[in-house]
Homo-oligomer: A and B are copies of this chain.
């Protein structure tokens, strides 16, 4: 049964690709939802499509406070601190989540601003190399994984609200703590950006001949190098510690492959391991987490452990 309580209002701060798509998806799912956008052009484009989006942050936050809305921070990491300062001033009691690509730095900032009590980290694993309102799509989150924080101290009520929103947008929820999230996305989101940039550089260094011969493997391998440089940096740089770890590991893997090719003419170790890894990805089965209710004994630890083993939440109750 859907009650008004289950669809408490949603206030989206930043209506770029992710925030804007979330606003569209939430409205489509029956939520009372509105938003803020720093650039007036983006706000105007959203209004032209019939959504309530303004550049008046104080007004938007005041409305959130008055309606006890769930606030979704959907600005890039470099803008998070500033927006948290305004939240702590104008809507300090609201439940708070975010869709930023790293979790530990957002969590630290939330603590700094005294907002940790009602904050639940979030990260929908969806996107394209496009950005801005024009790229928004209410179906962007359908079937996607949506990481939701289960860090120590998380309270059941705000957590349930955030999970309900993610499910209403069509996602599967992956319960994960901030540090483990950040290490995982360094591997499957930030490293892909770094390697795509390096591959694009190697291709273009071959001039018009190389680019003219480039086909599917180059096109796919460099796709995310089309993402705007500012956005790539805003995604990767705040996760530098985890990204450095996996980048160093990958440098080792590549240097070993180089040595093997040089010494023996063989890429067997790299290619066999890479094929097996991709097979594991292709055959990985998500499984449904059931029987853990928010507030149960050790619910956070049990959800965390289930998420580590590939479990997802597809419904609540």
Contacts and interface: CB of A to CB of B under 8 A. Distances in A.
A220 B218 contact: no
Contacts of A48: none
A203 B222 contact: no
A5 interface: no
Interface string A270-291: 1111111111111010100000
A213 B145 CA distance: 6
Interface in A26-61: none
Given A228-B275, A267-B237, A188 B203 contact: yes
A187 interface: yes
A67 interface: no
B211 A189 contact: no
Contacts of A203: 187-188, 191, 277, 281
A308 interface: yes
A219 to B, nearest CB: 8
A215 B126 contact: yes
Contacts of A184: 206, 209-210, 213
Contacts of A198: 195, 250, 253-254, 257, 270, 274
Interface centre among A176, A191, A198, A310 (most CB of B within 10 A): A198
A192 interface: yes
Instruction: With a 10 A CB-CB cut-off, give which of A209, A214, A237, A268 has the most chain B CB atoms.
Output: A209
A257 B128 CA distance: 24
A224 B222 contact: no
A9 to B, nearest CB: 28
Pick from A218, A240, A279 the residue with the most CB of B within 10 Å. A218
A144 B215 contact: yes
A247 interface: yes
Contacts of A237: 261, 265-267
B204 A281 contact: yes
A208 B311 CA distance: 9
A77 B11 CA distance: 59
Interface of A: 125-128, 144-145, 147, 174, 176, 180-181, 183-185, 187-189, 191-229, 232-233, 236-237, 240, 243-244, 246-251, 253-255, 257-258, 261-262, 265-268, 270-282, 284, 286, 307-310, 312
6 contacts: A188-B203, A189-B215, A192-B199, A196-B274, A200-B278, A205-B249
